[in-house]
Amino acid sequence: MRAAYTRAQVRRRIAVLFLVTLAGALLLAARLVYLQLIRSDAFRELALDQRLRPVPVLAQRGKIVDRHGSPLAVSVAADSVYAVPVEVRDVPATTRQLAALLNLDAARVEGLLRQRSASVWIARKVPPEQAEAVRRARLPGIYLVERPQRYYPHGSLAAQVLGIAGIDNQGLEGIEFAYDEVLRGVPGRDLAERDAAGRVIPHGERVYLPPEPGKDVVLAIDQVIQYIAEREIQAAVERTKSDFGLFVAMKPDTGEVVALALSPSFDPNAYGGASAELRRNRVVTDQFEPGSIFKVVTATAALDQGVVKPDDRFFDPGYVEIGGGMVRSWRPGGHGSLTFAEAVYVSSNPVFALVGAERLGPEPFYRYIRAYGFGQPTGIDFPGEASGYVPVPGKVQHGEVLRWANVGFGQGVAVTPIQMVSAAAAIANGGQLLRPQMVREVRGPDGSLERAFEPEPVRRVISPETAQTFVDIMRGVVTEGSGAPAEMAGYPVAGKTGTAQIPEGGRYSDKAVASFLGIVPYDRPELVGLVMLYNLKVYPRWGGTNAAPVFKAIMEPALEYLGVPRRFPPDQRPADNLVTVPNLRMSDGRAAVEELRQAGLLVRAEGEGVYVMDQTPKPGSRVPRGSTVILHLISEPQPGQSLPVPDVRGMGMRDAVATLAGVGFDIDPSGSGVAVSQAPAAGTAAPYGSVVKVRFEADRP
């Protein structure tokens, strides 16, 4: 049995316990001093951070505009409805009201209101009338916030080019996706001090970090040419009962794509109902067997290699046996004896089979095809580009010669439309392949230039001499061959027609693609373009019959609009003693008077104001030197004001567009050449911003 503790032992143990307790108290006190005094600011910040809950503030997405600054995609403020569930007092009643006001499913709304989240979205991008109804209802726990919404002011215009943007300000397709980092800007943050239920604490801390708006993207697309192209492609698809049609136009000296049209199309303002197939930009993402338009590659390669000359003679009996197979002419009985240039005019398959497989041979032919950019992406600034397909020489043991004979006239290869038009641009500009460009510039929110996209040469494909020789041959396709329907008065066209079979299930079907590849004007190229009509259901299905007229219908008014002068024989030019009346509409009155006096013309002003509303004689008229020009003056027009519609009859498309746009009217053009009629009529009062329909007809000598 242990002895009882002595008094001394008890005292020692009490002392030890006291010292331990004291030490613990001192440590605790020191820790409190450290936390309360030394680290107090840090913990105060930490506590504040826990209560400060950030709400993202979306940046204003940058605009997408055409090459002249006309808006194609903009962001506008739109109301969105959200709920703070803990603040909703009567869930069933609130559910009924919200479902009725917003046309929503009641069960879905109730499920959202019963969530245990700080806040939930009820509806985004709410129409203004619905938003106002919710605002007037003043439902507890229900709030509205303005968020940017993407809006496409011209509806389906250039839809497959622009693409779409999602509800959270993100680019999903097209240029919206390709340039998303440029367009979307930097989101801001609204930090408010909130309690555990997510409610804002009155008079609490609040920090607002403003968003940085996105930058603007300036396309190479020209809105007016794009409108003309879409109208004509849609009409051609309907007329030929094609599955779809496309058109792409490029400036051969820069590689800029000035128009890219597909039909059918869709409205990106309501893209939810449009299929992925409808939204696809087939000019870039789809590949096709080109058929006879690929003969421009075969011909230029052979001419550049020196294995054929334009006047070399061939014989087309209707077929040629080559490489163990047979290549037939599209014309029964063939074309007989003809030169190589004539073989291009009439699109002789047997001649091009021989040139591709024997005169050139697989290896040199392959090098030229690759040099033109086929079988690889062009590098265009657009997502989802396809590479196409080009066979590699020596990969098959049997049938090599027949394979390259087929390639010679456009079978057994696959190309994208953008590759094909880039190759045509290289021929038109003297042999230099350029990277195709969809975008010209990037500008800051204030309009300042941040980046300009210069032409990007890729490589020289053929010599300038070869290019000029073949453009002259292509001219003969229009003047003497199958491309005659593409010819325009005063705008000489060089081109190549194509009618390609559509492969299905490992063999060629009875379906066809009609196409036309053209350069205009052929001797001073301004534009190159490609028309394709896929699986057309009218006969004959030739490219010259169906696609060439579409090329003309688009390019003729486009060149008029661009101000490219028509060139006629010398005996039909205006006399030198006449003066051309300048276009003075919507110019400053004093400057107009000075310009007329310098041109040797007299002036009489009518009306009050500082701007020229109209003039007599019309712009472009040829009058004797010393004639009087009457200027009709008005004050500067204001939005909402009714104005007399200018008389644009007798004007070319470019002057008509400039005149109407200068006053504040939009134009809906049809035809090409000189304006012959308009609606509303000249002098009729119409609201600022109205559309004037103008009919143009060719002004032939």
Other Cβ atoms less than 10 A from the Cβ of 623: the count is 16
CA pair distance 21, 30, nearest whole angstrom? 14
CA dihedral 666, 669, 675, 678 (to 10 degrees): -60
Phi, psi of 407, rounded to the nearest 5 degrees: -60, -35
Other Cβ atoms less than 10 A from the Cβ of 424: the count is 28
Residue with tokens 């800051």: 444
The question of whether 690 is a catalytic residue gets the answer no
- Which position among 292, 348, 482, 515 bears the catalytic label? 292
CA pair distance 219, 260, nearest whole angstrom? 11
Residue with tokens 């197939």: 277
CA pair distance 47, 193, nearest whole angstrom? 10
- Taking alpha carbons only, the member of 467, 513, 520 closest to residue 299 is 467
- Taking alpha carbons only, the member of 378, 371, 410 closest to residue 496 is 410
CA pair distance 267, 249, nearest whole angstrom? 22
CA pair distance 363, 239, nearest whole angstrom? 42
Phi, psi of 450, rounded to the nearest 5 degrees: -105, -30
Peptide bond into 617 cis (omega under 30): yes
Ordered alpha helix ranges (H), 347-388: 349-354, 362-371
Other Cβ atoms less than 10 A from the Cβ of 56: the count is 12
Peptide bond into 127 cis (omega under 30): no
Q: Residue 313 in 3-state DSSP? A: strand
CA pair distance 620, 617, nearest whole angstrom? 9
The sheet carrying 188-193 orders its strands as 52-57, 188-193, 206-209
Secondary structure string (H, E, C) spanning 499-534: EEEEEECCEEEEEEEEEEEEEECCCCCCEEEEEEEE
Structure tokens at 412: 């057994």
CA pair distance 122, 113, nearest whole angstrom? 9
Structure tokens at 129: 């009338």
CA pair distance 529, 517, nearest whole angstrom? 6
| Alpha-carbon 472 to chain mean position | 32
Q: Which residues, including other chains, have CB under 8 Å from residue 287's CB and lie 6 or more apart?
A: 386, 387, 388, 389, 414, 415, 416
Please answer whether residues 566 and 506 qualify as being in contact, where contact means their C-beta atoms are separated by less than 8 angstroms: no
- Number of H helices and E strands in the chain, helices first, is 22, 31
DSSP summary character for residue 251: -
Q: Residue 54 in 3-state DSSP? A: strand
For Cα atoms 371, 372, 378, give the angle at the middle one, nearest 5 degrees.
105
Active site residues: 292
